[in-house]
Structure 1
């Protein structure tokens, strides 16, 4: 287990954070304190009327969205007791989320889930900044740690979103949206600790200049203990991370809005048999929006993102991403709304190779050009809408990719939406598909395939969303996905190579609902069923026989209870059942998290959170006997808002 060198070292972290909070509090004293009303529990009507942007790249009501979109509000996340974005995503019933170690997560939608960066069919954005590495086309979930208090919502759409968002939006898109600086004014301080989450602290201060410029700055740190093996011994992968950032929002006039924001982090992950893995990164994003009318606007955005990590005696990666894009929305006549745009991305990726693992060439500059257009056609006012769109991209590996989509939404009443969609999406090649080389692999050397091409899917979806009562909303969606050119691992007798030797089909349904039993008690959750078949194409001799491309449960249930009690108390539960995984075999499990909080004063809250409480420990991903298990854990937290 990894601890600070001395108790003085641990105390030093707390002294730094408390001192910073004390200094900031003097300047915050003149601000109006954040009241509990700022954290009020939304009524069901307000929840359903909230705006989502992920499905059509423009604000629209959740109730009218022609897709299986799930929205996790900042309040849902806070009340769950989640301590990271990955943990918060467990609340989305349409995602497969598994914790593989103290720091590694496997997260996907509609199947093909794999640990860490190997889950490659999900596009993830934070405030419009794409977070993935072209090395694996996956996400470093362990370093996506924006301050959870500042989250406005997380939008989750399963199914292809490539017509608007591009390659890798094959099985879903996640949009993580933080609050504007205007909504995070004053001082926020929290700290605590416990068993698995050993200690943590965060400080954020928001201020303003005049009536049209708002800003915030924040810092946070945590130390997490190791997970365990099946025999109870520690896996030796404790880790820590420190992160800080800022956001500035400026609106010189009603029709202009500017945003500038950025983050920086640094951390280390303990390795049982080697030196620590070291990670750090920085990003900065600028966005300008010009509003011409309620139906017309222009947005231009640019960002820089750097991620760096060193895994001793394995490899290190330094990735710099430069991205610029724009979109323009305008009406065409009285029945059409057009959104079009384009962008350019440059990824400078440099890998430090080792004797046992290499990417050849070690350095690549990968360019991505893209353009998109979508036409929303009103066929019957307030009742029937047709969405036609496509995205055209060019990448350095597979050239041009066309990703069209057709969506139809019928709203027979203001409380019902029936929708259907047909879409095509691609997962473009990553460096592990083309450039990977392991000379000492057993029994043969392993190499990327120089002819590896994009994986494709054609998806068919249908869904229904209804609010049968003021206190109840329901959503159901069914899907059928037809995949081609799925990654395989083939051999020619001398080398094992990555090729496109597999096909696959998946089908299933996603059900979700929200029920406000009383003004003080709300339930939300859902059930997902998914079946997947993977088989070899003629001529393929995939050495894994199609078993390596994802490990997914057929059944999954998520249920969250949010309960407000008298005297300022809150009691919340979040339970989940996950069916068994087939290959490698992982038993199904049920567990739940619990949170008990007390709002002692207007500004002060105490909370006690227990996670994975059902069993002493349980596995969620990986092959026995080396897989790690997630232990029951408990931590306390104190929160001040001024």
Structure 2
């Protein structure tokens, strides 16, 4: 439940040195409350024209002097959205979810947390799929089914005021069935971390991890989408170390670290970082960082075959008398996508009522995913021809921009949050595909008011610039996002 979230940390830039592969452009870390802080009962419910009905119930209890627990159940029913012409988009869906958390102080130095969740969802969607016969495309009204669960156990031990360790074990399982494919996946993960102060100027954290994931895919329409092999097991090993050095007391800090991982797709990957922060005055902080991150391949990159479009005979892009199926093909030789990130920033906080944060970044990407055509496959004649586009690492590019945020506390009960970001993307493309482009400008203006202790009011205005969609074998299409998004929430 949202009420059980203690805080949400948004880590800017590459977090791969600590979080590992795929933490390329940022990390969102959601931290939930200790069960001792969520005692008693809580009931919330509501409804509207789009969110037809939603509700949640949570109950927390102190089991004994050292152990507390809570359990929750929540669900919602959402109506279908409307297309620009007014007809239904056919994407109504609903979900039920429940879970628990237990916290226990085993001793003065040891604590244990056990938590888990289960969920089930029905998701309606309208899919526009390729077809290998006239009219060469089909609209499918699909009812997808998704279900799963997870359980996490975390043991924390405190050696001293400057040394502590965490051992975490989790297991996750899910099943998702759509009109054209079904996947069942089971994942187990073991993670150990140890943090200690080597001396007055070295704060070190290191850790080891192992993850095992098993995936089983059922190809419902193998002529359109398939995975080879259908079953695949993958193992991931990792280790990391990070040292924060105090070069000048309360003035200059240097952080050095790296993560070393091994995966079954690309082997070993090294992801280092170096960060320097200077505080010339208690109210001013300047910092800079250089980091390397990677996105490792998934089963889509390695094992998938997907017919995304079928060109009719005797058309502009297909002069043959046979349908031409354009198929994206995975590659077992696909390598990790690489990022080298440069960041600088400044923070000014003269008092608790005001703070200013400005950051600039430059990201250089290499070995990005691209698609290259190969010889036309004639094995399916006279039914159709097949044009494979094999996934490779021929792409590259760069992104750069700035992010700013200002927090102003006008009064004890009145606060303003203002943020703006500018993003410029320069990614490679060729005659066969165009990369999607993210919005260049985003602006957010939020007022939070708490006139009395039991009432909170929020007014929020956001602007999001246009974006473009990825396309294969054709020009990019511009998909404008609603320009002004505004809302008012009172609770």
TM-score (norm 1): 0.67
Q: Which deviations, in whole Å up to 9, do the C-alpha atoms of 1:579-604 show, x marking residues without a partner?
A: 1114431335011111123xxxxxxx
* Residue 543 (str. 1) matches residue 435 (str. 2): no
The 3 A distance-change label for structure 1 pair 566 and 473 is: same
Alignment of 1:619-634 (within 5 A): none
SS at match of 1:514: strand
Alignment of 1:375-414 (within 5 A): 375-414=243-282
SS at match of 2:22: coil
Alignment of 1:85-124 (within 5 A): none
| Corresponding position of 2:83 | 229
Q: Which deviations, in whole Å up to 9, do the C-alpha atoms of 1:317-337 show, x marking residues without a partner?
A: 111110001011111122111
The answer to whether the 8 A contact 2:90-2:141 is kept is: no
CA distance, structure 2, for counterparts of residue 332 and residue 252 of structure 1: 27
The 3 A distance-change label for structure 1 pair 152 and 542 is: farther
SS at match of 2:188: strand
* Residue 532 (str. 1) matches residue 414 (str. 2): no
| Corresponding position of 2:374 | 492
1:465, distance to aligned residue in structure 2 (A): 1.1
| Corresponding position of 1:214 | 68
| Corresponding position of 1:446 | 328
SS at match of 1:478: strand
The alignment yields a C-alpha RMSD, in angstroms, of: 1.5
CA distance, structure 2, for counterparts of residue 365 and residue 586 of structure 1: 38
1:393, distance to aligned residue in structure 2 (A): 0.3
CA distance, structure 1, for counterparts of residue 74 and residue 423 of structure 2: 38
* Residue 322 (str. 1) matches residue 208 (str. 2): no
| Corresponding position of 1:418 | 286
Q: Which deviations, in whole Å up to 9, do the C-alpha atoms of 1:121-164 show, x marking residues without a partner?
A: xxxxxxxxxxxxxxxxxxxxxxxxxx111111111112110001
Higher share of residues assigned helix? 1
Higher share of residues assigned strand? 2
Of residues 506, 510, 520 in structure 1, which corresponds to 2:403? 510
Of residues 238, 242, 246 in structure 2, which corresponds to 1:370? 238
SS at match of 2:18: helix
1:439, distance to aligned residue in structure 2 (A): 5.5
Alignment of 1:152-551 (within 5 A): 152-272=6-126, 273-312=140-179, 314-355=180-221, 356-438=224-306, 441-442=309-310, 443-494=325-376, 495-535=388-428, 543-544=432-433, 547-548=434-435, 550-551=436-437
The 3 A distance-change label for structure 1 pair 456 and 186 is: same
CA distance, structure 2, for counterparts of residue 244 and residue 287 of structure 1: 20
| Corresponding position of 2:485 | 591
1:566, distance to aligned residue in structure 2 (A): 5.0
Q: Which deviations, in whole Å up to 9, do the C-alpha atoms of 1:329-357 show, x marking residues without a partner?
A: 11112211111111000011111112221
The answer to whether the 8 A contact 2:235-2:263 is kept is: yes
CA distance, structure 1, for counterparts of residue 454 and residue 363 of structure 2: 48
CA distance, structure 1, for counterparts of residue 157 and residue 260 of structure 2: 25
The 3 A distance-change label for structure 1 pair 517 and 432 is: same
SS at match of 1:382: coil
List structure 1 segments (4+ residues) > 6 angstroms apart after TM superposition: none
The answer to whether the 8 A contact 1:201-1:220 is kept is: yes
CA distance, structure 2, for counterparts of residue 162 and residue 176 of structure 1: 17
| Corresponding position of 1:62 | none
| Corresponding position of 2:450 | 564
1:441, distance to aligned residue in structure 2 (A): 4.8
Q: Which deviations, in whole Å up to 9, do the C-alpha atoms of 1:472-519 show, x marking residues without a partner?
A: 011110000100011111101322111111110111000012111111
SS at match of 1:453: coil
> Which structure would you say has the larger Rg?
2
Q: Which deviations, in whole Å up to 9, do the C-alpha atoms of 1:192-217 show, x marking residues without a partner?
A: 11111000111100001222101000
The answer to whether the 8 A contact 1:163-1:404 is kept is: yes
1:567, distance to aligned residue in structure 2 (A): 8.7
The answer to whether the 8 A contact 2:425-2:437 is kept is: no
The answer to whether the 8 A contact 1:246-1:262 is kept is: yes
Point out where structure 2 has 5 or more consecutive residues left out of the alignment: 127-139, 311-324, 377-387, 470-476
Q: Please say which of residues 573-582 and 165-174 is displaced more in the overlay.
A: 573-582
The 3 A distance-change label for structure 1 pair 440 and 556 is: closer
1:568, distance to aligned residue in structure 2 (A): 4.7
The 3 A distance-change label for structure 1 pair 567 and 179 is: closer
Q: Which has the higher contact order (CA 8 A, sep 6+)?
A: 1
TM-score (norm 2): 0.88
CA distance, structure 1, for counterparts of residue 465 and residue 34 of structure 2: 39
